[in-house]
Amino acid sequence: MKILLTGAGGQIGHDLIGTLTASGHEVVSTDLAPRPPSHAHAQSKSWQRLDVTDPAATKAMFEKIQPEMVFHLAAILSASGEKNPTLAYDVNQTGTWNVLEAARLTGVKRMIFTSSIAVFGPPPSGPLPDPTPDDVALHPTTMYGVTKVAGELLCAYYTKKHGVDCRGVRFPGLISAAMPGGGSSDYALFMYVDAVRKGGYDAFARADTRIPLMYMPDGVRALIEVAMADREKLSRSIYNIAAFSPRADEIGQSVQRAIPEAKFTFSPDPRRQAILDSWPKSLDDSAAQRDWGWKPVYDLDGMTDDLIPRVRRMLELGAILSTH
Ligand code: SER
């Protein structure tokens, strides 16, 4: 199948490209940035420059490529989005509109939307239920979350009104041996990266911070499973998916199983801590389990065992990483 990715240079694209090409799909990667110099990104034969905030360019790209399916990954994450809400609105809100419009106008049949736990926020009536189900009132606290809520609604709207079959998942914080860009959940990966290269990490989150997390191989598999599911099986457009929800200090303990000398300290950054505190502690993903058989493979320690050698390799290959 010919599949187009937007935002292919990001953390999800890094792993999704390889999985799709290994399954025999033809992947056309698009991003504002040039192809990153990683082996994973090299697996996409075609790398094209696309700014999703440009409606004409987006439509022209879809016309030229004629993809059967689009994975819309381009987004500004939560912490970066609070630094530059205008950019977050342009990329996440206008960009999603442009991608859906381009799909409608050029006859793309299926579009995959990537939402996240950032759609949630504490309702005025009290804290979020734990675990948090799919259908609660959405009160996001970040521009990123606001635009993801709107994206979810647009996804359902285009499915009903225009026959662009749009579906997707709400990702937990995703962890992999590829650097995320400006997320509030990044402390989790940084605990691994700095334990390997510096013997410890001073986290920007409190020790008792607990949010839903997921290892990227499960995240990529979930995205592909929902993408390929028969429409008749889907009772909704966007699904919660869950794997594990450790406290930050429990992540540290898991890392210490492999690197016993690693030291972790916790110096919460008020801005990012407030975002983390607004998110669910864990997610109820029973609809995904029921409708398309979702089930994670990795728990926290399973992820740690697989991830640490990969982080070592990433660092040996000379990745320049900032973990602030
Ligand atoms: N992981 C993303 C972030 O931190 C949100 O889901 O922004």
CATH code of 175-212+244-281+299-316, in short, is 3.90.25
Burial class (CB in 10 A: 0-12, 13-18, 19+), 207: middle
Residue 11 CB–ligand 1 contact under 6 Å: no
3-state SS, residue 68: coil
Q: How far is the CA of 66 from the centre of ligand 1 (A)?
A: 30
Residue ranges of domains in the chain: 2-172+215-240, 175-212+244-281+299-316
Closest C-alpha among 12, 123, 77 to residue 272 = 77
Q: Along the chain (324 residues), what's the average pLDDT of each consecutive run of 10 residues? A: 96 94 96 83 86 98 98 96 97 98 98 98 93 97 98 98 98 90 92 96 98 98 98 98 98 97 97 97 98 98 97 83 72
Residue-wise burial string across 77-105, b where 16 or more C-beta atoms lie within 10 A, e elsewhere: bbbbbbeebeebbbbbbebbbbbbbbbbe
Task: Indicate whether residue 141 lines ligand 1 (CB < 6 A).
Answer: no
User: What is the value of pTM for the model shown?
Assistant: 0.95
144 is catalytic: yes
pLDDT of residue 181: 76
Fold of 2-172+215-240: Rossmann fold (3.40.50)
From the candidates 144, 158, 239, 298, which is the catalytic residue? 144
* Residue 61, amino acid: M
pLDDT of residue 320: 62
